[in-house]
Chains A and B, each alone.
Chain A
C-alpha cells in the first residue's frame, strides 16, 4: 500500500509540464483534448479562409461597381465578364444578362415574363453566392458553444479519475492531489482556447457576410430596375 502511494507520488512529481500532464491523462481525457485540438485547428482554418475570401470578395465588388458605373456599355461588360468565371456581383450581372440575351435573341413576346425570369435568375445566383459566403460559419458557431462543454466533460472525467486514484493511494497530500486536478483542468483550458476565437470569429464573419449579402441584394435590385427600364424602352420602341 505504502509502495503504491510512493510510486504514485513519484509519478506525479516527475512532471508538471503541459506535455507531462497530457501524457498522464486517461484515454478519455486524451481523446477530448485531441478532439478539441482538431476543432481548434479547423476553426482557425475556417477563420483564415473566410477572412481572406471576404476581403477578396469585397475588393471584387468594389472593382465591379467601379466598372459598372463607369458608363461602359452592358454588352461590353458582359463580354469581358462571361469569358471568365465571375463571382459575386459579376455572377449576378452575368446571370441577368444571359437571361436577357436569350429572351431577346429568340424574340420573346411578353416583357413581364422576361422581367420575372431575370429576377428569378438573379435570385438563384444571389442565393448561391450567399451560400458560398456563409458556408462553414455554422461550424464556428457549434465550436463556440460546444467546446467549453466538451472541455468541461474532460475535466470532470479527469477529476473523477484523480479522486479515485487519491482514494486508492489513501494520501491527501496536496502534491499528490494537484497534478491530477491540473491535468483535468487542462481539458477545460483547451476547450476554452478553441471556443473563444470561434465565437468571436463567428460573430465577425457572419456580420461581414450579412453586409456583403446586403450589397449583392442591393445590386440585384438596382440591376433589375435598370433591366426593367430597358425592357420598357425596347417594347415601347417596337
Chain B
C-alpha cells in the first residue's frame, strides 16, 4: 500500500505543479478590439439653459462672453455684453460695412449721438440751447474733409468737440437755473431739436457742391459758433441774444433748405439695433449662448415664485362655479411678461377652454384673470425664470 500512496502523492504533486503553472496567470480578456461607443450623458439643461458665452469657444469653468474690443469702463452699469456705447438687450452682430456715401454723415452722427441723448436726459428745457452748440460741430467736421481749405482759424476747433459738450451742459445748467422766461420760449418750439440738424444736410450738400462754395456758407454759421463760446464765458443774458441769433440763423437755414431725405436719417437713432450691450469683458470666452436663457432656481426659490403667482391669481380669478364637475374645465394659459411684470403680447390659451359653453366660459375667465392681475410683482433678478409662464387654471382644484 505504501508504494501506491507514494505514487499517488507524486502524481498529485506533479499534477498540481503543472496546474499551478499552467493556470497561474490566465490571460486577461482582450477587450481592446471591441468597438467602444463613447456615450456621454448630456443633461438637458446644457441645451435648454445656457449662459452668456461664445458658441465657438471651449467650455470652461467660468461662464464668460467673448472679450470685447473696448475694455474701457462705462460710467453707467451695463448688463449686456458688447462694444456698444449704450446698453442694448439685443446680442451683438457683425456690423455690415456702411455705404461709402453715408460714411461721413454716419461718422458725424455717431460723434454727435451722445449730445442729443445727454440733452434729452437732462431736461426738456435745455433742448433749445443745444441748437447753438450743435450748430458748431458741423463746422469742425467739414474742416476735416477739407484740409486744403485756408480756414486755419476754424481748424483748431476740431479738438474742442468734448469741451463743447461740457459747454452745452453748462449752458443747459445755466439755462435751467436762469430766468424761466427763456425756457418757455424753447418749450414752445420743440422744433429746435430738429433744426440743429439741418445744418448737417447743408454740409453734405456743400460737400457735393464745389469745395470753395462752402467756406462762404460757413462764415455765416461760424458767427453762432463764436457766440456760444462767448456765452460760456459771458452771462446768461448774452445767451438770450445768442439763442435769438441762432434762431435767426436757423430760420435762414430753414428757408434755404427744403425737404431733404437726409433730415429723417439724421433724426433716427444711430445706435446699432443689434450692437449688443455696453458691458465690457476681458475674460477668456467660454462656451455659451448669446444671452442667459436659464436661471437655475432652487426648489425653494421655485416654490416661492409659484406661491407668488398662485396668490396673485387667487385674487384675480373668479372660477366658474355651478357647473357639473364631470367636465374638465382645466385651462392652460401661456403668457409673456416684460421685466417690469407687465403683460407682453396677448396671453393665449394653450390647452382647454374650448368645446362646450362652460369650457369656453372657463377659458375666458382664466384669460380675464391673467389680464386683471397684469402688473405682476415678481423678483426682477429671476426674470429669466418667469419671462414666459404657462398657468394652469383648474376649478376642480379650487374647491
Residues in A lying within 8 Å of B, measured CB to CB: 16-19, 37, 40-49, 52
Contact = CB atoms under 8 A, between A and B. Distances in A.
Contacts of B5: 41-42, 45, 49
A47 B1 CA distance: 10
Given A16-B26, A40-B12, A45 B20 contact: no
Interface in B6-63: 7-9, 11-12, 19-20, 23-26
B321 to A, nearest CB: 57
B318 to A, nearest CB: 57
Contacts of B20: 17-19
Given A17-B20, A19-B20, A48 B8 contact: yes
Contacts, number: 41
B25 A17 contact: yes
Interface string B344-377: 0000000000000000000000000000000000
B4 interface: yes
Nearest to B7: A48
Interface of chain B, helix or strand or loop or mixed?
helix
Given A18-B20, A40-B12, A44-B12, A49 B1 contact: yes
How many residues of B sit at the interface, in one of the four size bands?
Answer: 10 to 19
Given A17-B23, A19-B20, A49-B1, A42 B8 contact: yes
Given A17-B26, A42-B5, A45-B5, 16 more contacts: A16-B25, A17-B20, A17-B23, A17-B25, A18-B20, A19-B20, A37-B12, A40-B12, A43-B8, A44-B8, A45-B9, A46-B4, A47-B8, A48-B4, A49-B4, A49-B5
A44 B8 CA distance: 5
A78 B26 CA distance: 64
Contacts of A47: 8
Contacts of B4: 45-46, 48-49, 52
B11 A44 contact: yes
24 contacts: A16-B25, A16-B26, A17-B24, A17-B25, A18-B24, A19-B20, A19-B24, A40-B12, A41-B8, A41-B9, A42-B8, A44-B8, A44-B12, A45-B1, A45-B4, A45-B5, A45-B7, A45-B9, A47-B8, A48-B7, A49-B1, A49-B4, A49-B5, A52-B4
Most chain B CB within 10 A, of A43, A45, A52, is at: A45
Contact of A41 (B1, B12, B19, B23): B12
A45 B9 CA distance: 8
A18 B23 CA distance: 6
A42 B185 CA distance: 129
A42 B4 CA distance: 9
A181 B12 CA distance: 25
Contacts of B9: 41, 45
A18 B24 CA distance: 6
A84 B7 CA distance: 28
